[in-house]
Amino acid sequence: MPRFADHSERRTAIADALINVIAQRGIEAVSIRSIAAEAGVSAGTVQHYFSSKQEIFDFAVASLRVRASARIAEHLEVQASSPGASPGRQVARTVLKQVLPLDDASLRESKVALALHAHAVTHGGASSAQVADWEELRRFVVEEIHGGSDLLFADRMVMATALMGAAEGLSILALAGYVSKSEAAEAFDLLDRMLGN
């Protein structure tokens, strides 16, 4: 870590170390000591920047979300600048396809996100900040995917929930090796087509 890194950079570097430890050895290998070793700092330094292991977990979850959002934003820019781009459905599909770890760049992060997800489930559930973030994404999908439809808002919420659940589940099935990436993508496309009509 550079000597004059500011507070936020140090926290990010420590959260990155947590993500590396989980990606390489699983969540059970996480300790203040293993995070410190991975970050190349002392355990005391880690404890200076985070008051608990849980606080590092929360920061890592937020950090993974920021990265996923950045990838989504990048895809959207590419799409917006391509000829014949349709705004509504295409945007929502891009968002949901990012949940499916179809490229190697997001595969590693998806694995870590799943581990953090499972951790949250056995430790009292997602935080209210995480739920609020997820709700924001769902509202976005509701608005974008059926922007032109005259369906009731309640029905569109059910559709968005179904699609987001399917993206999440197919992602996990692919990550664990139950289905191939292309099978997961094909199944998601089927749902997307059916719900899009």
Under the binding rule (CB under 8 A), the answer on residue 181 touching a second copy is no
Sites for a second copy among residues 105-134 (CB under 8 A): 111-112, 114-115, 117-123, 125-126, 130-131, 134
102 binds a second copy (CB under 8 A): no
* Out of 32, 60, 142, 184, the residue judged to bind a second copy by CB under 8 A: 184
Q: How many CB atoms lie within 10 A of CB 187?
A: 17
37 binds a second copy (CB under 8 A): no
Closer by beta carbon to a second copy, 91 or else 170: 170
Could you tell me if 142 and 160 are in contact, meaning their C-beta atoms sit under 8 angstroms apart? yes
Q: Examine residue 92 and tell whether it contacts a second copy (CB under 8 A).
A: no
40 in Cβ contact with 20 (< 8 Å):
no
Tell me how far apart the alpha carbons of residues 46 and 30 are, in angstroms, rounded to a whole number: 13
Residues 131-160 that bind a second copy (CB under 8 A): 131, 134-135, 158-159
Structure-derived torsion over alpha carbons of residues 113, 170, 96, 175, reported in degrees to the nearest 10:
40
- Given a contact cutoff of 8 angstroms between Cβ atoms, the answer to whether 185 and 102 are in contact is yes
Instruction: Determine if 104 is a binding residue for a second copy (CB under 8 A).
Output: no
Q: Write down the least CB distance from residue 179 to a second copy, Å.
A: 6
- Region near a second copy per CB under 8 A, out of 36-44, 62-70, 71-79, 174-182: 174-182
**Single-letter residue type at 73:** A
Please identify, using beta-carbon distances, which residue of 42 and 180 lies nearer to a second copy.
180
36 is an interface residue for a second copy by CB under 8 A: no
Q: Please, which of residues 15-34 interact with a second copy by CB under 8 A?
A: 22-23, 25-28, 30
Residue 131 corresponds to which amino acid?
A: V
Binding site for a second copy (CB under 8 A): 22-23, 25-28, 30, 111-112, 114-115, 117-123, 125-126, 130-131, 134-135, 158-159, 161-162, 164-173, 175-179, 183-184, 186-188, 190-191, 194-195
